[in-house]
Structure 1
Amino acid sequence: MLQMITWLDKNFCSLKPTRAVIMRALRHLRPADRKKLFSEDIPEMRTAEGRWFEAIIYEMILDLSLQTDLILAVVARGADGPSRVRRAQLGQNGLFYSNIGDIKVRGNGQDLAEVDLMLVDHTGALTFGEIITSPADLKEFEEEIHYKKQLLGYLYGQPAVPFLLISSVDISRTAVVRRLLKEPDNVLLTTASCEDLKALIRPRDLKRSPPRKVRHEKLISISDIVPRRPFDYKELHDERMQSIINAVTSEGSIRELGTPDEIPPIVKKVLFGGLYPSAVRMLDSRYPIRIKGKIYDPDAIQREFSKVVLAVNLPEYKPVIYLRRRNKREYLKMVPNNRSGGFKFESRRTPHMAGFYLWLESVRPSLGAELARGLLDAFPAVHAPTAPAARRP
């Protein structure tokens, strides 16, 4: 299983990114993104560079795959993905393409993970890769990689899932990468910087229309790598949810939260359900909701929001509240307020996050005050305020 990544580790540096490869990579960028490669807007330019660098690595791996039988196949992405993709829907489980050809793993329609590169070796084992252009991208990176290993290992029945980390900057000395490289099935590949690669082209080159698709003997689609075991994410989610509820409602069992069990550890968030009015009143009295400096009482919550959903992020057991606005298609994500207690506004969830938004929309009231309080009291990441707050709308 490790022969392929060992070969790549030794031979990747032998293939220098040429102007031809770099130009070919432009086919994976939309015209608007190609223009941004030389934009004076630095954030826009860096984003476009990141997508372009991913495409360059993909094209280099396609070329390298012809030099060895250890690479059985390269999973198509970007412009080589299908022209029409399946929109996110409840009940979708497995690998799917996004509308720009990114490879996604979905569970009940929700995007669980995205991988930048996917290869199949000569034994049929799957390897995935992450492609980065900045050391700033390493925040929470280690946790994400381990989760993707667990997820793909579960789907494809692999005890170990090899991983390629490909970077345009030297990150070999960072603590995160050093820890990752201590694991035998991880490899770091480093290329020239994006600035050096960009020096091989000129802004006028971007006006050309690159070919959209190429023929390649080792290209396969995600439909060719069907998961090797049944995957019903909603069923796994409900099993995990019930295990948490059982631990909370069983006297003396709260310490069992987080203890390894037979449920695969691939559920990252549990949606317990919507709160009944009694649970909303409990929430207000014990764990108040604060939005832009104001504490919302039960009447204000009922007036402005049609639904209150209680969830928890795993494995840290950090509770989250989602508030559905009555007059707008969005949920406000509320997270624990570590300073003053209760919950504070963090961000919005809109139909743009299609799968997760649909899941939230499907949630109905199911939690009364007693169970909701038991759950919240069990999660140490949230606490009640030490003194009542005064400002209420």
Structure 2
Amino acid sequence: MKLFQMSCAAWLLVLSTTLFASGAAAHLTYTKLTTSEGLRFVIVNGSFDADDDLSKFRSVVISYHAEAVNFDSPGGNVKKAIELGRLIRSLGLNTVTVRTKECASACSLAFLGGVIRVAEAGSIGVHKTSFSDTKGMRVEEAVAAVQAITADVISYMTDMGADPGLLKLSLQYDSDDIRYLSASEMKQYRVTTPDEEEPGPESQVASNVSASLQIPIAQNGIVQHPAGTAPLKASGNADSKTVAKFANGSALDIKGREGDWYQVSIAGQTGYMHHTWVWVREFEENQFGRRYIQIKSVDNLEAARSIVLNSKIPLAAHLTTNGWFAITVKTPGGNDIERSLLRSLLASHAIPKDAVVTFGNTYVREVCCSAVVSNK
């Protein structure tokens, strides 16, 4: 991507001279921007609200082929900001902020989702979280709620490669105050990532982890449906009209994505197919026709690693298109071995009762942990 070829200073210069001032909206909206250098940004505008639909963000990013995210937000709901940050990371996007835009409070958490993070000094503000959701609770309930969200923030910061010590700094400033970070503080707390010219000692490790979590843009695919054929829908809705049906193995082009639906072109017709019906060529799970025994899915890599590494049977974890991780049983594949193995494992209570055999069309790549079996 072009962004990876630019220094941090160049990114900031481009954005500072391109972005225009605008008032932040009440809820999240998304603006597309292409700079004169051809860099494609999605600008997140407004306050984070608990009921914001982030599938709209995903659709804009994928259809626009965005490379990075910029923010104009005073903050808002912490959980929603963390959700957006994890989505940004799963999509392999970078984040950039400049002083002509505001990214304060909860917005700073969303910013941490970037694979590469670049910020002008004074462009990111932090303060103590306002726990408005605890109003009306008993003291014990309120304390438990505050402890839970604090634990979520620390876990998230750690997952994103930032220093949780940033939270301690934030707690020094009341919710009606704001503390804008200097360049040295952003570097100290790993809010920003090192410039290519100044790599940190852990940069290679972080780069490898980040690369494993990037999701390629789906462009070409093959129909792969458990029933043997998949319907082409008139719109991205299961109840919409079926335009035609196509057999497994039919090639198609993916033009965009709207929520869980791909907009596709197939055999001269255009329409929509659910993403679970399409095997994508750009993904690294590149064995068309292979089946997997999926036993569960989790929302973060560390949880996935823990399940795999502590299992009594060989397991693997796969990054999926929604940024979660599917846990599967390690099998050689072929000859429909998965169905008979599933019955055997269920009978012995070795796997959960809701385990299923799937084509794994949503699997992007295996991310953990090569043929590891616990000795427990």
Asked if these proteins are the same fold (TM beyond 0.5), I'd say no
Highest relative contact order (Cα 8 Å, sep 6+), 1 or 2? Answer: 1
Q: Which has the higher helix share?
A: 1
